[in-house]
Amino acid sequence: MYHYHKIFKNDMQMYLNIRTLSLAIAGFVLFTDFFGLSAYSKDAEKELSPGERFHHETSLTWRGVIGDVFRSKPKKPPQYKNYPDAKIIKLPKPAYRGIPLEEAIGKRRSFRNYSSKPLTMSQLSQLLFSAQGITGKLYDLPLRTAPSAGALYPIEVYVIANDVEGLPCGIYHYAVLNHSLELVKSGDFSKEITAGGLEQEMLGDADVTFVLSAIFDRVRHKYGERGFRYAYIEAGHISQNIYLQAVSLGLGSVSVGAFLDEKINELIGVDGQTEAVLYLHAVGTL
Ligand SMILES: Cc1cc2nc3c(=O)[nH]c(=O)nc-3n(C[C@H](O)[C@H](O)[C@H](O)COP(=O)(O)O)c2cc1C
């Protein structure tokens, strides 16, 4: 009995010591962070380039995290963007079963030369589903193929269709909830997408170019300025899904970060501030 009591007493003391030590470390971190003694404060003293400033100002510190609780944030915009008066094109059910994932990862490459064969609607449907399709639910909240910080899904996907069997050329918005397309603008925009993409010709040659934009307030309303980073990261997740799905479908694709922001924003009809284009992804037959 005495023996157990002794162990209990020693454990209790050990527990108290660890707790005191943890509290002391947490207090020290908070103190140095709050009073600007952390490494970041040294950066703040020197002149930062715009990119360094962006990174610095969206870096998390305890001071920032605590301060953020009291900072006003934008209102939460609607989770789903839609074009109420647009023509709706229902996409075929994505039912393709392709090569093993490991093979797709091993074969993934950027392809910039495409054949003149058009893409099929089934292939387009499969690519869009892999990009942002709904694959599950958290209570009532639909979850998608690509991860999203806080499941807030800031990314919108548009399709610039140049050569898809049975789909007139034009710019379409992917309506994730109904797995369908909404027509934004009809016409051949291969010249405009090439010009906006710094004359990278594969954008005009591709059967489709996916345009990934972000509605920043969807993440900013919760994460503040850090939300910008999350939106960029998420565009990368989506693009990788498109890459792998394209490989599995036997198609070629390339992601494109070099484009004139203003031109592509204008092309899909977004203001470049509340919603802005982050990334392009061209896909074509080989
Ligand atoms: C953020 C990012 C931006 C990119 N931008 C372009 C681009 O503007 N034009 C292009 O032809 N390729 C672009 N790429 C594709 C890269 O050139 C390509 O991934 C790299 O050369 C490696 O080749 P691989 O994808 O075949 O492995 C980009 C890739 C990433 C990740």
Residue 254 alpha carbon to ligand 1 centre in Å: 7
The answer as to whether 277 is a domain residue is: yes
Q: What is the pLDDT of residue 268?
A: 98
Return the closest-CA partner of residue 129 out of 281, 238, 283: 238
Say yes or no: CB of residue 264 within 6 Å of ligand 1: no
Helix (H, G, I), strand (E, B) or coil at 108: coil
Task: Supply the DSSP symbol for 165.
Answer: T
92 and 55 within one domain? no
Q: Do 115 and 180 share a domain, yes or no? A: yes
The structure tokens 């140049």 sit at: 162
- Determine the number of helices (DSSP H) and then strands (DSSP E) in the chain: 11, 9
- Shared-domain flag, residues 19 and 134: no
| CB distance 174 to 132 below 8 Å | yes
Between 8 and 157, whose confidence is greater? 157
The ligand 1 atom nearest the CA atom of 258:
8
Residue 79 lies in a domain: no
CA 219 to centroid of ligand 1, rounded, Å: 26
Q: Is residue 107 part of a domain?
A: yes
| Alpha carbon distance 31, 277 (integer Å) | 40
At residue 26, the pLDDT reads 57
Q: Dump pLDDT digits (tens) for 153-190.
A: 999 999 999 999 999 999 999 999 999 999 999 999 99
Residue 213 belongs to domain spanning: 88-285
> What's the average model confidence in pLDDT over 254-283?
98
Give the CATH number of the domain where residue 112 resides: 3.40.109.10
Q: Is 186 near ligand 1, meaning CB less than 6 Å away? A: no
In this structure, the answer to whether residues 37 and 137 fall within a common structural domain is no
Kindly state if the Cβ of 254 falls inside 6 Å of ligand 1.
Answer: yes
Q: What would the pLDDT profile of 101-110 be if each residue is shown by its tens digit?
A: 999 999 999 9
How far does residue 233's CA lie from ligand 1's centre (Å)? 15
Count of C-beta atoms within a 10 Å radius of residue 238: 25
Residue whose CA lies nearest to ligand 1 atom number 23: 110
55 lies in the same domain as 100? no
Please report whether residue 83 resides in a domain.
Answer: no
pLDDT band, very low/low/confident/very high, at 72 (cuts 50, 70, 90):
confident
Residues 143 and 261 in one domain: yes
How many whole angstroms from 170 Cα to the centroid of ligand 1?
A: 25
Which atom in ligand 1 lies closest to the alpha carbon of residue 197? 8
Question: How far, in Å, from the CA of 145 to the mean position of ligand 1?
Answer: 22
Let me know whether 22 and 118 are in one domain: no
Confidence of residue 4 (pLDDT cuts 50, 70, 90): very low
- pLDDT tens, position by position, 21-71: 656 655 655 555 555 554 445 555 679 999 999 999 999 999 888 888 888
CB of 34 within 8 A of CB of 62? yes
> Is the domain of 275 the same as that of 207?
yes
Tokens of 53: 């400033």
The answer to whether residues 188 and 169 touch, using CB atoms and an 8 Å cutoff, is: yes
- Please answer whether residues 96 and 126 qualify as being in contact, where contact means their C-beta atoms are separated by less than 8 angstroms: yes
What are the strands, taking DSSP E only, across the chain?
Answer: 88-90, 134-138, 141-144, 155-161, 170-175, 180-186, 208-215, 251-256, 275-285
- Per cent of the chain over pLDDT 70 is 84
Same domain, 135 and 216: yes
Let me know whether 103 and 65 are in one domain.
no
